Structure 1
Amino acid sequence: MKKTGLLFVGVLSLTALTSCGDAELAEKAEGTWQTTLNMKNEEGMPYEQTQIYSFTNDKNSGKDGGTFVEYLTNVAKEEEEGIVVNYTVTSTITGSWEVLFGDLCITYNLSSLDVNVNEVNYKLSDDVSPGMALDYWSASIDAAMEGYELIDRSELKKEIRKEVYNSLLDEYEKFNADREENGSVFADLKIENGIMSFMTSDVGCMEFKRVE
């Protein structure tokens, strides 16, 4: 019985220490953090993604955490049938977060997802055949003479927004499901000298710099 009692006290002490550490990490996490990644899409085209987390620590929530806003900015390009499309997409989504046993646990509020396409430009690819280039410029001149663009930017924005929105929503849904079913977290949260880092299952270690 004495041995069991000592073990019980030891577990309580460990829990208290962990809770204290979680509370300290939650206080340090409050604020805005940013990172920039160079990535590739499914077709292998490179793009730059800036990711920002803005954490609010709610000390009255009963947890070591609160709410957050995630901001993404993707500067990307795609090529199809000799046309290169460059665009910038921004998105925001809110959610809740908690530091638990030294890990960062976040849950996305899927209904809050918002996506905007800010810039869309297109041009002829540098490596198209002379015949395709001639067809492109001929069609562009005809379109200009009739008062419209060869490619409707407004419709292109709508298509890009729909594609990005559905892709992000699917990604966030899977993240929430994995969190609920498997307890997936951003592991081993560390915050030192204005740098926040944690381990992810896909990218590995991610580092964010405090910006506010």
Structure 2
Amino acid sequence: MNKIGKAWAAVVLMLVAVLVGCDGHHDPLDTSMKVGHILCTDGKTRSYEDYAASGKEAIAVVFHVNHDEEINGTGYAVYLHDLTPEAFADSLGIAQGTSADLTAYDGNENTFALYDTDDVSSPMAMQVFDMWRYGQSAYVPSVAQMRLLYAAKEFVNPYIEACGGDPLPNEADGCWYWTSTEVEGQETAKAWLFSMGSGAIQETPKLQGHKVRAIVTLYNEE
């Protein structure tokens, strides 16, 4: 083999070695959103490590990544803090227009219906509307969305605490939260509470004051 042939053979061997090395030891960077990622005030979600290094302000933690094309958004994030106890409605006798569907992921639509109903106000919904900022549309989760949050509680609680938030509780005297779902057939008087301690639901008179843990729907980042 002449000198040129030997040189080309050496180059080929080097390329093969590089390709084999790359294939064997380097995985592509995974930038997809995951449960436990942190939603920041700039609207972006980051891994906890990237968030901690970014200097950004955290507002919520991803608790569900959506793989169902029929559900809006790419996932849900739960806000870091509870809202103070408020009544679902300031008076009884009027249905407030929620779906009353225990299986629907429609907290956003329900919360707007509560806000928009004439002749009765929802102190709970008003409080959530008042917290809107940074372009994030917070809302009161439906029963179905609270079930997703309950299922992810043990995983997301350490991230909530690491970001300075209130962990989702287990204690019986502090685990009940309003959902945005009215009780079917009793919409004028009752709505559902959800227990973060057990996953149970309880139909409850709307005039009672209970905590809310707002969530937000996430969409693809540009």
TM-score by length of 1: 0.24
More strand as a share of residues? 1
- Quick check: which one's helix share is greater? 1
TM-score (norm 2): 0.24
